[in-house]
Amino acid sequence: MNSLHKKIEHVCEYIEHNLDSPLNLELLSEVACYSKFHFHRVFKAITGLSVQQYVLYLRLRRASFRISFEKNVNLSDIGYEAGFDSPEAFSRAFRREVGQLPSEFRQNADWENWNLRLKKKQARFQKRHNMKIEVVEFPEIQIAYLSHIGSPDSVLKTAGKFIEWRKETGLSPVKTSRTFGIAYSDPETTPPDEFRWDVCGSVKSPVPENSFGVKNGILPAGKCAVIRHQGSHEGLSITIWDAIKNWLPESQEELRDHPIYFEYLNFIFEVDECDLLTDIYLPLK
């Protein structure tokens, strides 16, 4: 990555960590150490978005998670947090960018449509982070799981359903249980109707039959390489490919015949995307 791309990546990271602060061109050009007369053109040339569009995209993305997963928070408060002076302005912008009013999104979020819109707004470069990989012995864990089969763009709807089951039954409390995702296929190479991903929570006793479709399962014991990923879940695939391409051949380890799984150490309704922590487990022989 050349120095200009590094400057813009640094600005993007600054924006991600300061979404609640004023973010104007003059300030961000100073962050980039670049001429304020040319910064906005360079930013758009590299990311594909204007600075204003990029900030709006991140604020509305955060707002969409809060609307869907924090249903006790007032929609107007979420709008003010996103930088809008009135609920009306927030509703107009949200409907224009997301395709639904905030109230409609809270009631029945169309994650597939919103994620497709987001992909068109994604920055053109993908950030890579230095990886620290450890080999560990993973213990067997009893889990409850809910399978998602279909487009990867709608997995958050399944995750929301699993959260509702956790809240209603108390059998796998978010605060005191571990949360996992099992990736049975790669979203980039699997036809959407064949993609499977399971959302899981650790449990201490078997789960009875239920209307949510949550089932009993086991995460097996075994040797794993574990990688700590910080940031958006959109970047998980990059971290995985980097590990398989670079670390795996040098380590002389071999992958075991079991899907990759993730442990979510915090959640999008608790922290900003840039502060998400996810452990990626590569099962080894």
Six-digit token string for 73: 């928070």
Mean pLDDT of 166-175: 94
pLDDT at 193: 87
3-state secondary structure of 3: helix
Question: For 18-150, where are the alpha helices, taking DSSP H only?
Answer: 25-32, 39-47, 51-69, 75-81, 87-98, 102-107, 111-121
Write out pLDDT tens, residues 212-259.
999 999 999 999 999 999 998 888 888 888 888 889 888 989 999 999
Distance CA(237)–CA(131), nearest Å, equals 13
Write out pLDDT tens, residues 73-111.
999 999 999 999 999 999 999 999 999 999 999 999 999
pLDDT at 245: 84
Distance CA(110)–CA(34), nearest Å, equals 39
Lowest average pLDDT, out of 45-59, 116-130, 148-162, goes to: 116-130
The predicted model scores a pTM of 0.81
Percentage of the chain surpassing pLDDT 70?
Answer: 95
Distance CA(162)–CA(167), nearest Å, equals 9
Q: Is 210 exposed, middle or buried (0-12, 13-18, 19+ CB in 10 A)?
A: middle
Cβ atoms 43, 125 nearer than 8 A: no
Task: Count the neighbouring beta carbons within 10 Å of the beta carbon of residue 188.
Answer: 8
3-state percent helix, strand, coil for the chain, nearest multiple of 5:
45, 20, 35
Task: Count the neighbouring beta carbons within 10 Å of the beta carbon of residue 178.
Answer: 16
Token pair 């912008």 in the structure block, residue: 93
Q: Where would I find the beta strands (DSSP E) of the chain?
A: 133-138, 141-149, 179-183, 196-202, 215-219, 222-230, 260-264, 277-283
Distance CA(64)–CA(104), nearest Å, equals 11
Cβ atoms 75, 103 nearer than 8 A: yes
Write out pLDDT tens, residues 35-64.
887 888 888 888 888 899 899 999 999 999
Mean pLDDT of 128-142: 87
Cβ atoms 173, 166 nearer than 8 A: yes
Distance CA(94)–CA(113), nearest Å, equals 13
